[in-house]
Structure 1
């Protein structure tokens, strides 16, 4: 990336949206900053936002108020087909664009990066004159964009899925090889893969995302009590500070038959994954972290928009899959029994490692730099 480039990110986190969109944008922003770019974040103050985290990373933040949010239970007056996740925005796209326009007029970004399921061509058209280039980060292929560059880091989608959704000339980066992973995962890949040479079930890591509104973590701990784990096993649980069920999970951990720790807002997730024998975790962005490290995974689908990616990982032999949170009590013990077989653990690890090498950020930066001319 050329020095002195200015990049603006429009992304939100909330109890409903989760934290993954902000986390992957932070990964890209930190890589951009390392190359000399100046980054700004534009985020709405939804309950469960991550504005304090973004500020702690040293980035410029522009806060959008929720005081005038009035679209969560209905559609804007403009008669058009809204994105399926329009309610995540909290206001009409036109209102959001109006406020963002004033920010962008001042920031004057070279790149505007948009990572939001509630935004489409309406928002992008209103703001395209206020940035030289537009990068859209998407996972759904369910709405049109007018971007210069589009990133979909998921398994299962191809460039054909976006053929009718982006303009001619838009560059597409589709697949886990472009996944926005922090540098630690590529650095730890060799160490983690070497650990898989002697598979076992001594250390289980449970991570259901920063919010886990459905309390999949609590259900997982209850189900693990019914599992035939070794006496020497230990369990680590990672949660976000905004997780609504954090206190309940912490209490449940004290009653587990095996040593169980609950960790909040960890900064060394890569090391914790690399040192685990299996992960019981949510579908979504952390899937590619686990693949990079070759960690055998029991994956739980927490939202409908995670299904296609989870099924693609299942078809690739990378995971044991639990498709609904409510099925955890019945299906998790069976999945644990399947992973007691060393050959099954080895196969899951081998298939996962082929999916992603952890170098996606560098590929995205190269595309952005090439387009800067």
Structure 2
């Protein structure tokens, strides 16, 4: 098996009618990505009403159930933190997993410290930054201007922070649907997706159906997804039966196909915001829980969603008016879709799995860059270390990057490739520009994959392409292959090391396009005229 066979991972997460299903579903997504790398994954969860243990087992993961909360205990955890720690240790049954993933708002440093002697390392999944952790890594997929600073003083020194929407753990179907789509959507609103999460305690689904049954929206096709812990599925079924052009869905493994078919989504501000963003789906959100408020406000500031505000303030008329405005404003929808599409690419779960189970010998493949990669390149381009080592160190605005990237994809003298793991995680990019005095190669690695020695592998991809072109384009017997150049800042030791390991040497004669003060590294392909013909 690829990756890290023999690794054992345990996920501790709960679902209930009160807390919803997001924590368990997020844990299952991470579990699937780790299983794809060869890890054996088990799940531990408490037997709350609406616990989803059958769903966990149906997805092929062994599950250990902790005792149900005592009668009258309506706390989030359903037990004291020390009791939960003792019961979780017992559920490990003497095994010592390599990683323990804990995704629970009611568990923090004390619980993690109690589990520490029984596990190899701990990944805490958090999005509140409201309590200390004693973890080895922390995952917070929320959008925040300085996400790592949120955890100053809350995590130990050396804790690896996996922060931001690019680490949002989504099922692989979303990234696949994004790649098929190629870019954010545009055009009129013909189909609407309604999904307010696994629980929808305030029954916003019913409100959405009442509004969509009004004359301005009645001709639209509607997909309605009723979560596993919805309080009134029969009432939703009755509303759906009274309206034409509607399809009612029960709990599903994913909504990627429904999101790909929709033109607008009505939903809540939970983990599904990243699923919709991956596909560039314009969204009208209701804040159904207090912990969603800050996140939805930041998303609205970026132009990636429209928000109705907290559920207590939402009325049928307010939803109808805002929905009508969104449907009438094609430019606003297109702008929202583009802003959302830039936030993430749907590969977050695989990135987290790579962080927990790295393999320096992982096979890499290269694919052509596509328009859907514009946001990925933008993220790499503005990575702080990339800017520090660039010849122009200022951040690049999207308004400059977007048209440059579109033109670069169309340029006949430019070769652009994205290197990926077998799981489809982009690890970096390599670019080859054909010039009058030889080719120019540049590369960059995703911060997650630096230090694995993969820079030379990306440069070898460019070398092989350049050498292949040299073999096919020798117009005269006396002509010689053109060299391949790379320009590096003298203080960029890692990049210089990569070029040297890929067979490049410092050029005796500088390329005329070499930036001032750069080191010009060069590689010349073998001369086909001097190579012995095969027997």
Same fold (TM over 0.5): yes
Question: Take 1:24 and 1:304, find their aligned partners in 2: how far apart are those partners?
Answer: 19
SS of alignment partner, residue 8 of structure 1: strand
Partner in structure 2 of residue 82 of structure 1: none
SS of alignment partner, residue 217 of structure 2: coil
SS of alignment partner, residue 147 of structure 1: coil
Partner in structure 1 of residue 502 of structure 2: none
Task: Determine if the alignment matches structure 1 residue 151 to structure 2 residue 135.
Answer: no
Task: Determine if the alignment matches structure 1 residue 365 to structure 2 residue 353.
Answer: yes
SS of alignment partner, residue 365 of structure 1: helix
Question: Take 1:140 and 1:226, find their aligned partners in 2: how far apart are those partners?
Answer: 38
Partner in structure 2 of residue 303 of structure 1: 289
How does the TM-score come out when normalised to structure 2?
0.64
Partner in structure 2 of residue 294 of structure 1: 280
Cα–Cα, structure 1 residues 69 and 370, in superposed 2: closer, same or farther, change >3 Å? farther
Query: 1:94-143: per-residue Cα shift (whole Å, max 9, x none)?
Result: 11111111222523211000000000111111111100100000010000
SS of alignment partner, residue 295 of structure 2: helix
SS of alignment partner, residue 136 of structure 1: strand
Mapped contact 1:192–1:275 kept (Cα < 8 A): no
Query: 1:200-252: per-residue Cα shift (whole Å, max 9, x none)?
Result: 11100000011111101011111223462263x11110012331211111111
Partner in structure 2 of residue 332 of structure 1: 319
Question: Take 1:217 and 1:361, find their aligned partners in 2: how far apart are those partners?
Answer: 28
Mapped contact 1:322–1:328 kept (Cα < 8 A): no
SS of alignment partner, residue 94 of structure 2: helix
User: Post-superposition shift, 1:71?
Assistant: 5.1
Partner in structure 1 of residue 167 of structure 2: 178
Partner in structure 1 of residue 5 of structure 2: 3
Q: 2:246 aligns with which of 250, 255, 260?
A: 260
Mapped contact 1:205–1:279 kept (Cα < 8 A): yes
Cα–Cα, structure 1 residues 252 and 161, in superposed 2: closer, same or farther, change >3 Å? same
Question: Take 2:45 and 2:126, find their aligned partners in 1: how far apart are those partners?
Answer: 17
Question: Take 2:73 and 2:301, find their aligned partners in 1: how far apart are those partners?
Answer: 38
Greater shift, 62-71 or 270-279, is seen at 62-71
Question: Take 2:67 and 2:354, find their aligned partners in 1: how far apart are those partners?
Answer: 35
Question: Take 2:35 and 2:318, find their aligned partners in 1: how far apart are those partners?
Answer: 44
Mapped contact 2:166–2:348 kept (Cα < 8 A): yes
Partner in structure 1 of residue 340 of structure 2: 352
Question: Take 1:59 and 1:107, find their aligned partners in 2: how far apart are those partners?
Answer: 16
Question: Take 1:253 and 1:312, find their aligned partners in 2: how far apart are those partners?
Answer: 33
Q: 2:156 aligns with which of 164, 167, 177?
A: 167
Greater shift, 62-71 or 16-25, is seen at 62-71
Question: Take 2:180 and 2:95, find their aligned partners in 1: how far apart are those partners?
Answer: 42
User: Unpaired segments of 5 or more residues in structure 1?
Assistant: 73-86
User: Post-superposition shift, 1:39?
Assistant: 0.7
Cα–Cα, structure 1 residues 149 and 69, in superposed 2: closer, same or farther, change >3 Å? farther
User: Unpaired segments of 5 or more residues in structure 2?
Assistant: 361-451, 453-535
Partner in structure 2 of residue 88 of structure 1: 76
Query: 1:245-287: per-residue Cα shift (whole Å, max 9, x none)?
Result: 111111111223x422211012351011001011001111110
Partner in structure 2 of residue 65 of structure 1: 67
Greater shift, 218-227 or 236-245, is seen at 218-227
Q: What is the RMSD of the two structures over their aligned residues, measured on CA atoms?
A: 1.9
Partner in structure 2 of residue 38 of structure 1: 40
Partner in structure 1 of residue 127 of structure 2: 139
Partner in structure 1 of residue 480 of structure 2: none
User: Post-superposition shift, 1:66?
Assistant: 1.2
SS of alignment partner, residue 228 of structure 2: coil
Q: 1:341 aligns with which of 301, 319, 329?
A: 329
Cα–Cα, structure 1 residues 227 and 347, in superposed 2: closer, same or farther, change >3 Å? farther
How many residue pairs get aligned? The number is 356
Partner in structure 2 of residue 243 of structure 1: 230
Greater shift, 147-156 or 326-335, is seen at 326-335
